[in-house]
Amino acid sequence: MPRNPRYDILFEPVRIGPVTALNRFYQTPHATGMGYLKPESGAKLRGIKAEGGWGVVCTEYCSIHPSSDDSPFGFLTLWDEDDIRALMPTVEAIHAYGSLAGVELWHGGSHANNRLTREPILAPSARPALIPQPGSARAMDKADIKAFRTWHRDAALRAKRAGFDIVYCYAGHDYLPFQFLSPRLNLRGDEYGGSLANRVRLLRELIEDTHEAVGDRCAVAVRLSVDELHGSRGITSQGEGREILAMLAELPDLWDVNVSGSLGNDSRSARFSDEGFQEEHVGFVKGLTTKPVVSVGRFTSPDSMVSQIRRGIQDFIGAARPSIADPFLPRKIDEGREDEIRECIGCNICRSANNEAVPLRCTQNPTIGEEWRRGWHPERIEEAASSSRVLVVGSGPAGLECALTLGRRGHRVMLAEAGRKLGGRINRESNLPGLASWVRVRDYRLHMIGKLPAIDLFPESRLSAEDILALEADHVVLATGSRWRRDGIGSLGEEAAELGAGAILTPDDVFAGAEISGPVLIYDDEHYAVGGALAEKLSKEGHQVHLATPAAMLSSWTVMTDEQFFIQKRLLELSVRPLISQRLTGAANGVAELACVYTGRIRRHEFGTLILVTGRVAEDSLYRDLTAMTGQWQAAGIRSVTRVGDCLAPSSIADAVHAGHRWAREFDRPPAEIAPRRERPIPA
């Protein structure tokens, strides 16, 4: 289909200093969890972004010197000539589709703990490390500042030799150049501290040094956090953030602006922000500079993108998470297929990957991070050598993705769902406060399934083992999901609680409409989204809510998704009362016994309703029935019966989608063709 003319503005070329971007789609720097240890994986991932139509494709953060080491997390390096050779394939992969390649030069200062290199931590002023550890950062003297400028210049020259088109001066996210800018972190009394003009001095010098070194061929970009979100204690978009822009307005070739204070502020989840949420902080920038401006805001709507350009908020549409969820977002808009965009749901599972020091993953896009390792492409998939008739039982995230992928490969699919509405757990969890965008996982797949005539949907079709035998399928995939445990066993609780009479529910009961009487006690030993979201829901409905957990903080795993601070803050604002480091040992007749995980001391807590948000168990009774009838289903012509997703191993929606995709993509291929590859060190 032809492109909708109202989106033409998004495909205009934009000049950035000595280079020109093909269009206004700008994949801003974002972590992949791969870093310098997985250069082939990183190159393949960035190349697919370029193939998908992003006019600019940037790397993750790239260390300029061993004194900035973020191990064990995945970061790049430009320390020496070997690093040039390692990064050249990434540049070539990006250039293969006419996109510009950007590199984000990085020094973490007191935000880099140097676990691997064991170099002393550097900072504008002596202070404890920003990420808690026994060590502290030392104040940089004049020789250190001079050396830092040399390291940055040398890294910029290496970037130029590697072939990059855009070289960043990175003054955001509490890293070293930003630490010099911030009055919270820069307590110096010399010409690099005190007044704003002095605190800006180092960034000005970095921009000038970089221009002198590479500006004849490379554009020089500045990534600046214009608001720390620390109020008057720090830089604000109405105060010094605006003044810094005015001071340096015409020095770089491009401004990449965002909010900071932490990465969690910039990559705020959909639970705590809407599309375009940074506009209130960055909207002033274009009024102060003639240079192109890019910012982010989890943009997925082409109309929102056009609005950003026409209203003069930015010249490019910056994206990290939307480019992960759909690397082909620009191309789909260009080809009139905007209805096929796999919209980011803002769950921040992508952030969890980097925070756990593993390659990127995504709830919406199961192929991200698998481009080199498994040879997966987000838009292309190997057609089946011969078509099979596959029955998929269950329409949750694993079942929907499995059915869609099988249909794309040319198989004939029957998708049976016991309930009236397809979507499984997505339907339930997306109704919790802040999680409405999660329904996109269901809606995207149902929309794409609707385009494939070989997939037949059968809602309200609860199947028995005997029913399955009569359906003449070649293969059966069971994606029947999971149910919440009723015994109190969770991630940290290894023993079942002694549970007696009374209103003791699981989230399944709440989702099914069970009556709730207060006061409510929620016991969260899952530590992800559901416990905190249920507490928020019930508090807003007027209940007094206590949230107990054996962890040392509420929703503790959401540290990985950069949400924990925001979740606990919101719950405290709603007067949800936390009971931390408390393990449920028993409950009956409206009284729960909670034991301190450290001392074992018991406290008793009265409740009207107790809700157990602990572990989940696979809903695999149908699989067990079929296993007992193996001879019969084999005689009926069924060649395989397989469990996928939560039916096999309960986990996140992201893992369920990945499991469904993987089975459908690989089930009829020889093992030798689907074994994942590993990158191994090669001697220089």
Joined together, the tokens standing for residue 211 give 């221009």
Find out whether 570 and 479 touch, Cβ atoms under 8 Å. no
Joined together, the tokens standing for residue 629 give 């009838």
Find out whether 594 and 585 touch, Cβ atoms under 8 Å. yes
What values do phi and psi take at 266, rounded to 5? -70, -45
What is the distance between the alpha carbons of residues 368 and 365, in angstroms, rounded to a whole number? Answer: 6
Nearest to 171 by CA among 160, 163, 162, 182: 182
Nearest to 426 by CA among 525, 521, 523, 347: 347
Residue 26 a catalytic site member: no
Torsion of CA 514, 516, 517, 523, to 10 degrees: 120
Find out whether 286 and 312 touch, Cβ atoms under 8 Å. yes
Find out whether 193 and 140 touch, Cβ atoms under 8 Å. no
Vertex 523: Cα angle to 517 and 526 (nearest 5): 135
| DSSP code, position 341 | -
Instruction: Centre a 10 Å sphere on the Cβ of residue 1 and count the other Cβ atoms it contains.
Output: 8
Find out whether 200 and 192 touch, Cβ atoms under 8 Å. no
Q: Give me the count of residues in the chain.
A: 684
Q: What three-state secondary structure class fits 77? A: strand
Peptide bond preceding 18 in cis form (omega within 30 of 0): no
Distance (Å) of CA 1 to CA 54, 332, 333, 336, 443: 19, 10, 10, 5, 22
Point out the catalytic residue in the list 97, 175, 523, 623: 175
Catalytic residues: 175
